[in-house]
Structure 1
Amino acid sequence: MYRSLFPSDLFAELDRLQREVHGAFDVSPSIRGLGRGGYPALNVGTTASSIEIYAFAPGLEPASIDVNLDRGVLTIAGERKSREVSPASDERLSLHIEERFYGRFRRVISLPDDIAPDGVQAEYRDGILHVTVKRRESAQPKRVEIH
């Protein structure tokens, strides 16, 4: 989507801003968490044997990310340090848009009751945190043979 740095129509810009603010608060809560927003962006899916969570967080050190599982709630937290050029570091720079996130973050995901708390693995590679939460063996589908 193309957006001018300098709006020529103030009312059109106010209308766009109102839609963005309304969209930020128009969320659909579900048992799995909120459907949009937040940093890092998440993809959450399931398989028969696990729950797969992908957090898209480029530019982090793996040691700066905390992944915790407590009573069926998975928390991903950490801090992204600012290493970018900012107005404070360059007096000649006049910043108009700053979309890159930096600062502390925390995402919380409610998991179903059939997880195995000891079966959690996390890996961070190429800016993507991949967390796998295994399901209990008793919760996995089984084929019953007919005799």
Structure 2
Amino acid sequence: MLWRLITRVFVAAGAGAVPAQVADPDAGRDIFMSYCVQCHGFDAEGAGPMAELLNVVTPDLTVLAKGNGGVFPIADVAMKIDGRTLVLAHGGDMPLFGPFFDIGTDVTIRLPSGQSMMMSQTLADLISYLEALQKQ
């Protein structure tokens, strides 16, 4: 996993990283509806059709910012989706979708801390959609 991150950094440095504003929440919604809705539900509140079959409570993705002092935890969300942080409910990496979120153009997004983080365009789009869903 670490070698993949290091490779991304060097590739992006050589190619010129794409700025954060390229994230497209509309594309992210399409990704969510294709890959996440079964567990997290159409409204992302954790009541998808597969949720009742899981041994864990499917999280409400609309209150991630609320649970983080009002700041959407971009880095934490990205690392859980792309496998940099293991998610026990997924058996580690996203069991079926992890590789999907790792393909495509790499982009750099700015975190609330001011730091930059590399990720695929697909993941950046999905995260921008999840951020737009946050409840106050």
Instruction: Give me the TM-score of the superposition, normalised by structure 2.
Output: 0.22
Structure with the greater relative contact order (CA < 8 A, sep ≥ 6): 1 or 2?
2
Instruction: Give me the TM-score of the superposition, normalised by structure 1.
Output: 0.21
Bigger Rg, structure 1 or 2: 1
* Structure ranking higher in helix proportion: 2
* Structure ranking higher in strand proportion: 1
